[in-house]
Structure 1
Amino acid sequence: MEKVKKVKKTKIKENLGDRLIQAFIYFVVIALCLAIIVPCINVLALSFNDGADAAKGGIYFWPRVFTLDNYKEVFADGKIMKAYSITIGRTVIGTSLSLIVTSLAAFALKEKDLPGRKLITMMITFTMLFSGGMIPTYIQYKNLGLLNSFWVYVIPGMVGVTNLLMVRTFFESIPDSLEESAKLDGCGYFKTYTQIILPLSKPVIAVVGLYTAVGHWNDWFSGAFYMNSSKLWPVQTVLQQMLSRAMASSQEVTTASQAIAQANSAVTSDSLKMAAVIVTTVPILCVYPFVQKYFAKGAMIGAVKG
């Protein structure tokens, strides 16, 4: 047997200009990472620090007077746990239904033999530029019986135009040869959608699903404007109302004794705000590691041979 000759790897020599550009790119990336991480660490430190002590300033990366009073105040109201169940429920149900409807609509719009395809796409795109406004939207929800209902969180946001166009564009990038092969094997539209299109579309489905889930999780507007009862408030609305009350009470100081008591309080509106930010942000951040790989990884590599 002939010995396989080892191929020596030739290193490409980089000139000074290339090294400077690479160093500049590294510097920009590190600076952007620090610009994101440092404020998060500061918020975390302030959330665990005594409110009166935090008002003096000088806290950056570590609490000076450690306390859990801020978090105790956030969870002191029993509504917060009920609100978490509402938020988790709307996020899971809303995201699941949104992905199903959006992907089905995108698959239909990508078919070139769909009657009125261009007109439908134009009408959908038109809604990105113009909307009825808040009052007509409120009246429409009232006529549909969505007010004071859990489904006001789910149904109106079931399809996002931007997400729909994003998914449709990704579906169009899938080679037609795969779909034609499926049809030759006897697959109909639905089987092609479930066994060919969806398995190859995990990256865009993961991205759209993450965007939709974050939108549901961070939404406080729907609970504040479409719910008369606080029993169906999501956690964001509960915390927003809690912070509004705390800020209002801090501005209603009428006597010197009240001012002294508030200045010495372990929980202030600012420290409560930091704890609320951590409480609402950490759970949704836990989702990112599970979908991060789909942001950079493509599923189309090697899908078509020859």
Structure 2
Amino acid sequence: MYDQHDKTLRFFRVFNMIIIVLLCLTIILPFLNILALSFNDGADAQRGGIYFLPREFSLENYIEVFQQSTIINAFGITLFRTVLGTIFSVFLTAMAAYALKTKTLPGRKVITFFIFFTMLFSGGVVPYYLVLNELQLTNTIWVYIIPSLYSVWNILIMRTFFQQIPESLEEAARIDGCSEFQIFIRIILPMSKPVIATIGLFNAVAHWNDWFSGSFYVRNSELKPLATLLQEMLTSQQALSEALLQNSGAYAALDKITVTGDSLKMATIILVVAPILMVYPFIQKYFVKGVNIGSVKE
């Protein structure tokens, strides 16, 4: 009986391992293909047959990206909104979550309901734009930061985590004369590194990859973030390549093109993804703990 149970257990372990490996390959192999195409000559890439290694190594795709005069400014805008937006969003979200988990907060259930209610409906893009315009946030750098300071989902996640912290620690701190803010800073935040890392990563990725806000809410080219600028560059490059193909003939055009719309797209993807990939290993241990928030109740 035990031998049969052990065999079944080993079978499921092997089966699960195979499934996990296959899932990993579905992520890794396309990324390697994108990386190879980004370092390959654009005209050669048009002929196909490139999988995981570049056939004709070239840096022209990345040179084309960085030749744009506004690229450094776009990096600065993106870095500014990502760092400042993430810090303020995580801190203010944590404060809101701490207040909502406090049982002595007057009207706590009513406040929680109204906050949760905002998750159920959306006013739409046009009303949202009118609100931003009325608040004089459009065409300013603050349109990237202020509207995204709070997320109801993140507040609920943090509140769930804070509820798992023993209340006896807070009571002991109050007896020692600590204020609520001191308890929040000295006890709650240091014990909440997993959820802070998780929410921080979500916010950072959202800020770094957001191109929509720069396209619709900002007209000043000097305030365009990296994702928006690269998206516009990609659109213009694709239009140029298509025009060249129509005017000069397909084969003649391919001989002249070293950077195509597709090759520039691959370089753009790598350029946007690379910073997040470099940051993730440093917060992985906290992130793994954070994704299990609420899964175990004592």
Interval of TM-score (by shorter of Structure 1 and Structure 2) = over 0.9
Q: Give how far 1:14 is off.
A: 6.4
Query: Which residue of the partner structure matches residue 37 of structure 1?
Result: 28
Aligned to 1:26: 17
Equivalents in 2 of 1:71, 1:217: separation in Å? 19
Q: Which residue of 1 aligns with 2:285?
A: 293
Structure 1 counterpart of 2:62, which letter? Y
Which of 54, 61, 68 is the aligned partner of 1:63? 54
- How many Å apart are 1:257 and its aligned residue? 2.1
How far does residue 250 in structure 1 lie from its aligned partner after superposition?
Answer: 3.0
Counterpart for residue 53 of structure 1: 44
Q: What is the TM-score normalised by the length of structure 1?
A: 0.90
Write the distance in 1 (CA, Å) between the matches of 2:178 and 2:143.
37
Report the CA distance between 1:254 and its aligned residue: 7.2
Of 257, 261, 272, the residue aligned with 2:264 is 272
Checking the alignment, whether the CA contact within 8 Å between 2:61 and 2:259 is kept in structure 1 is: yes
Q: Which moved more, 1:248-257 or 1:283-292?
A: 248-257
1:263 aligns with 2:254: yes
The sequence identity of aligned pairs, in percent, is 54
1:217 is aligned to: 208
Displacement of 1:42 after TM fit? 0.6
Structure 1 residues 157-236: aligned runs within 5 Å: 157-236=148-227
The Cα of 1:279 is off from its aligned counterpart by 0.8
Query: Helix, strand or coil for the counterpart of 2:189?
Result: helix
CA offset at residue 284 of structure 1?
A: 1.6
Structure 1's unaligned 5+ residue stretches are: 1-11, 299-306
**Alignment partner of 1:238 out of 229, 241, 258:** 229
CA-CA distance at 1:134 after TM superposition:
0.6
Answer yes or no: is 1:16 the counterpart of 2:7: yes
Shift of 1:36: 1.0
* Letter in structure 1 aligned against 2:105: L
Residue aligning to 1:94: 85
Structure 2 Cα separation of the partners of residues 261 and 292 of structure 1 = 49
Which SS does the other structure have where 1:205 is aligned?
helix
Larger Rg: 1
Q: Which residue in the other structure is 2:68 paired with? A: 77
Q: Which amino acid is the alignment partner of residue 30 of structure 1? A: V
**In the superposition, relative to structure 1, how do residues 105 and 255 fare at CA in structure 2: closer, same or farther (>3 Å)?**
closer
Deviation at 1:285, TM superposition (A): 1.2
CA distance 1:255–1:152, change in 2 (3 Å): closer
Per the alignment, residue 9 of structure 1 pairs with none
Query: In the alignment, is the contact (CA less than 8 A) between 2:90 and 2:196 conserved in 1?
Result: yes
Structure 2: how far apart are the matches of 1:44 and 1:255? Answer: 29
Partners of 1:277 and 1:284 in 2: how far apart? Answer: 12
Q: Distance in 1 between matches of 2:60 and 2:179?
A: 60
Per the TM alignment, residue 296 of structure 1 is displaced from its structure 2 partner at its CA by: 3.1
1:18-46: per-residue Cα shift (whole Å, max 9, x none)? 11111011111111111111111110000
Distance change >3 Å, CA 297–CA 139, structure 1 → 2: closer
TM-score after normalising by structure 2: 0.93
AA aligned to 1:190 is F
Output the aligned Cα RMSD. Answer: 1.6
Counterparts in 2 of 1:261 and 1:90: CA distance versus 1, 3 Å: farther
Conserved in 1, the CA contact under 8 Å of 2:74 and 2:223?
Answer: yes
In the alignment, which of 134, 142, 145 is matched to residue 125 of structure 2? 134
Whose helix proportion is higher, 1 or 2?
Answer: 2
Question: In the aligned structure 2, how far is the partner of 1:214 from the partner of 1:242?
Answer: 21
Going from structure 1 to structure 2, the CA distance change for 1:93 and 1:256 (only over 3 Å counts) comes to closer
1:282 has 2:278 as partner:
no
Match of 1:4 in 2: none
Q: Which is further off, 14-23 or 227-236?
A: 14-23
Residue 163 of structure 1: SS of its match in structure 2? helix
| Unmatched 5+ stretches in structure 2 | 291-298
Partner in structure 1 of residue 135 of structure 2: 144
Q: Look up the equivalent residue of 2:240 and give its one-letter code.
A: S
Letter paired with 1:287: V
Instruction: Give CA deviations for 1:247-296 in whole Å, capped at 9, x if unaligned.
Output: 22233357552544432211110001000111111012111011101123
- Contact in 1 for aligned 2:245/2:253 (Cα 8 Å): no
In structure 1, what is the Cα distance between the partners aligned to 2:201 and 2:169? 27
